[in-house]
Structure 1
Amino acid sequence: MKKVGLAIIALFVFLNLISIPKSADAAGAAGIDVSVVLKVGDTINLAAGYPKVNWSVTELNGSATDKAAVSNTGVVTALKPGIVKVIATASDGTTYTGEILITILGNVEEKPAAVLNGTATVNPGGSFDLTYGLRYVAGGIYAQDITLTFDSDKLEFDSAVSLKENKISVVDISKQTGKVRILAASLGEENANAANGDLIKLHWKVKANAQPGTAAVQLTNVVVSNGEGVETSLNAENHSEIVIQSAPVNKQPLLDLIAQAQTKHDGAVEGTLPGQYKAGSKAALFTAIDAAKAVADSSSSTQANVDAAVTALTTALETFASAVNPDKPSIPGDVNGDEKVSIGDIALVAAAYGKTSNDPDWNEYKSRDINGDGVIDILDLAAVAQIILDEYLAAN
């Protein structure tokens, strides 16, 4: 059992703070700046003869913890790895309180290692970052040779940036298919001990055609060297996870096209007159609209399904547009579009007699303006009649 003397209580009472020298075990190597470092199973007595104190132990945020226990006499027992806060509150009527942080290390001895950290959930075409660093590595590291492998079908390596600017530099990078090698160096003797913790930010891109699922990035080989050129291979620890999710399906272009097609369908009239549509053309367009709506309404539609539906409906609209009867008869005087000039055409002109280009429904009747002067009158009737008679005389 580790014990702390009456000096601790004196500080507790008069400064409202417990301050215990850092233990001389793994704390130094781990770079942990806390008051006490224990290993699982260790105990320490914080009371040392000051009886009127209430003791408690919590997580750093004040919540309950199972990492350590403290007795009513101030004996702390380390139970699980982690950091806890031990709080002492005077019970003698004063308002003195104090607290101390205790770091608990696991029983397994920590070994020097190179570490790759980072998690990301990304869409195809997106980007993410991972972090490379060293842990529990003694000082005096002047150079590092770092190799990573990755899933080249899904990922692309972009760049590497030092997280310790002016202390550690990324000297050079070699990119290969599915592999990247990074050479880094500490900038001078005063920075050789900076090679610990997070050192390099690694930027990656997800390929636009990457399939959903996980994508691997692995730290596979790390060699470091001290100032005398002695090289050491480090254990590589990979704590990265990259999940590529399905890209969100953009249905808006399809929805806009459906609305456009529906408007054209609803406003169209089938018939033989100019500006009307050939029989059956509306039904064909309606079938195409219905198929497009099924894709738009389905939650399982992929972007490829939506794009194909846009193409199909666009083609249907083009076909529908080509089914409209021309504004002007293809045969002069053939107002009803039956490919002949007869009494029926005279009747259509007579039915529109008096219409002018100033009328709001002129577009419906302008094909009956045979001479194109903006008014349907006796001249147009005469023109159709003349065509009929000329054809009769020519045939007889």
Structure 2
Amino acid sequence: MELIKSPRGIAGFCFFVAMGLILSMMTAKPASASNEEFQIGVFWVPPAASTNETQYDYLKDGHVNWIINVASTDLNTIEDNKKMLKLAAERGMKAVVADSRFDKVYDNTATDAEIAAMVNDYKGLPGLGGYYVMDEPLFPNVNYAGHAYQQFLKNDPDSIPYLNLLPYVWNKPEYVKYVDQVIAATPDLKYLTFDNYPFRTNGETNFDILDDYYTNLKIIREKGLEHDLKTGAYIQATGYYDMRRPVENELRYNVFTSLAYGMKALYWFPYWHPGMPFDGGIINLDGTKTDLYKPFQNLNAQIEAWGPILMKLNSVDVYHSGKMAAGTVAVPSDFFWKPENTNDNVIISYFTDASGRKYIMAVNRDYTNSSTLSFHINSNPTKITEISKTTGLEENTNYNALTGVISADFAPGEGRLYALPTEGMGELLRNPGFEDGLTGWTAYNPSTLTPITDPVNSGSNALQISARSMNYTGAMQDIKSILLSNGQGTYDFGVMLRTESKDKQTMYANIFINDSTGDHYFNGSFVSVDNESWVRSSGSAKITWTGKLNYARIYTESEAGTGNYYVDDFSLKKPDQPTTFKSTLTANMSSITSGTEFKVSFGLSNNTLPIYAQDIKIDYNPAVMEFVSVRSVYEGISLVEVDKETSGKLRLIIASAGPEHAVTGDTPIVELTFKSKKVSKTTTGLISVTNAVLGDVKGNEYQAATSSVPIEVIKGGGPGDLNEDGKISIGDLAIVSAHYGKNSSSPDWENAKIADINGDGIIDILDLTAVAKKIVN
């Protein structure tokens, strides 16, 4: 936004517009951001006269945590900047400082000593986030901007200096070169940020999102991944010449489309109305809130809730469906998450975390209309949750594990973030059976790959390998991104093989990786292959890497010979990790008197998969308690069978009424009622789950860990039950009356003291009253 800060830049600001992007498949490189806060920032802050508690309360209430001061505003003295820092720190925010001296950085004239002096005035102050270096440097200024950035960082390593890039529309043919030059000039760059505003008008007609917006997002995303940099984008909150002032739905669109491209910082421009010729902002010139403040506040609250998740996610792929914009890539036919209606205008963005867990962000690309969007997940995972925009926690969805379909209502421009289960997602390779021709596959060493329809092992297609230059030739797929997405661990792999001639060849599937320590090979089984039948080579390998994973591929080759051969049905899967369930028993009271009913809740914890059926065996001590009844406390759960014939033993057969009622999470399932028996002395009885077998949607059975809960049964009916008949009644009152007036000095006190209800050493009206109240109650 430097182009708006002074007359020297306004002529060029009409370039600030935007349009379309998305990523083609590429190798993802994780940016280490999981321990940092998602930056929710504002540019063009309250001026000096409005740098006060009221205005900074507005910022805090708007869920802002990052404030960017600009040298050319009137907040340009050291004192004003320190006041800004103090107000920010008191509200848990951080700010980027810029006083009048910083103009020399913009003019490329500040010396290293002058930069050190600037840092010296602010370093270590509460609320300091960083130092303003430059906004949108032109090509001639890039090297100096990078040098100044490094100098600020050298003098204050904990800071995050501000350096923001021009938009793609500024110089399309040279833009990638421009981004590369900025990165090269700034070796320790912490955030790669840019601004490109999408909502435009020619004065009469609104333009659609054209080619600039998504292309710019694509380039920044790819360069961020390539150089392990966190990325950030600006959100348009004003009109200016050919830009129109956005409305709430368009703000939402701007936010979620940016998040879909992996941005880890979003900045609003402008926050404070800069004055004419700009059309608005979040705050008016007089310090009052505009109509955009409420959506600004709501959207920031949603970003804040998602922030901890977003900061740990690595962007893997971004796809579009419906009407395609420039710079975008259509959802591949074999992608595991696809829209049910291919005409829906939607972004599907694929993320993973450090453990390999998969996330999908779906964004309604229509910023005018709400849409009900449905998606099909090919691998039918057992469960899909949604990250709440209110709490940031995982919530249940309407996902149907039997059909693999999930749907939701999306407001205009809205995004939703879904989390897939931690267990394996099935087939990982792209186009493993060559049903989509050569998509995803290339030749390993000089040879010719030809899709064929006969012979095939399954489906309609297979692949012929011919014109082999050596025995080490075959079909190959790059699996670097697959391994990075799914993490280190055990992988199962294999392929079906068959020769063209009757001459036998010894062949095998192989995985190769190269990391910081060198080359590593993982061989499948060596199998003898001829032309009479298909033979499978398979293997299981613990694939790990040290440092950087440079290359990874799966391929076929033969031990010797160069004869033509066929391949079909490649496979690469990461097996599910062992799932551990635990049964739970919880009593509503731990100590009871004889003849008292009590409740015990049975449930599950560590429940990582939806459970559809349960076979539960429970033992209890029949000398201490008796079973009364059992009921379901989980909606849609039925007790199909309750076997209580054997005293001291129960068997419960439990089933869910459809996928929407599968048991998930840590939850109680049934409530059992018992009644304590009369005991001659205080006794503890145990209720135990002795066996718990659980079934999932695919019919897999799991053994849950056992559990137990002790119940102490007190002799009699407790204090006041003097005749030990398990209740407090008129007979007990009679015993108190018979000993009335006796005290600890009475010769038969040992026998009489049972009537001393309150234990004060005398049997009087207080003891009679205590028993009488228990009778009435």
* TM > 0.5 fold call: no
The TM-score, its normalising length taken from structure 2, stands at 0.23
Structure with the bigger percentage of helix: 1
Task: Determine which structure has greater relative contact order: mean sequence separation of CA pairs < 8 Å that are 6+ residues apart, divided by chain length.
Answer: 1
